[in-house]
Amino acid sequence: MNGDDAASDVEFVFDQEKSERLSRFLALVLRHRAPQFDLHMDDEGFVDLDDLLDVIDDRQPALDWVEVEHLEALTRTEGRKRFEIRGDQIRATYGHSFHRPISYPPAEPPESLYVGALRTALPDLRVRGLLPHGRQYVHLSVQESEAEEIARHQGENATVVTVWAAKAHAAGVPFYHPTQGIYLVSKMPPEFLDVGVEYGRRGRKTRRR
């Protein structure tokens, strides 16, 4: 299926507004609050599709139109997939904040990956490295441009940090690749970070007198 086919498939099943509303709810439940909704989640983050539909029927009247076909349509989009269906189960592919780690098969990363960060955080990164801060994993972008976009959302005082991923992997740091465009690590030691990549306005040079 090409990208046009996938996009038309989603639009055929339900419109963009409903798609976004359902996607936000699934992210809330499958990334952060499955226990509060009495959903059993396995070690890979999967919950039963029928149980999830029961939760939607019982607790989300604004989503009373949702059928299994709508969930399937969200997982058929091209590019980065936020959700995955396997058999009669569904999960969020990344972004979890549960205390119990979600397991993924190990993956070999490219030579470099990227992450956005505030410049004020760079001294701490040089000492402690990258930490997940409320999530199970650190999210690393394959594309530097995406990391720049994420950095801009953090504020004007932001930068892009390059991660020497291949060197870290060779040194024994486990990487995971749950979906297109991102890799996950539980943490990244500071010796594999290059904090010299920046964007935006540079500081004014001091003139010699």
Greater model confidence, 77 or 171: 171
Q: Which residues contact 2 (CB under 8 A, 6 or more apart)?
A: 78
Nearest Cα to Cα of residue 172 among 187, 193, 194: 187
Helices (H), 114-185: 122-128, 144-154, 165-170
Q: Which two tokens stand for residue 15?
A: 């419109």
Q: Tell me the whole-structure pTM to 2 decimals.
A: 0.74
Convert the pLDDT of each residue in 111-143 to its tens digit.
Answer: 999 999 988 999 999 999 999 988 889 999 999
Amino acid making up residue 80: R
Kindly indicate the confidence band of residue 153, based on its pLDDT and cuts at 50, 70 and 90: confident
Give me the domains of the chain, ranges plus CATH numbers: 3-92 (1.10.10.970), 113-194 (3.20.170.30)
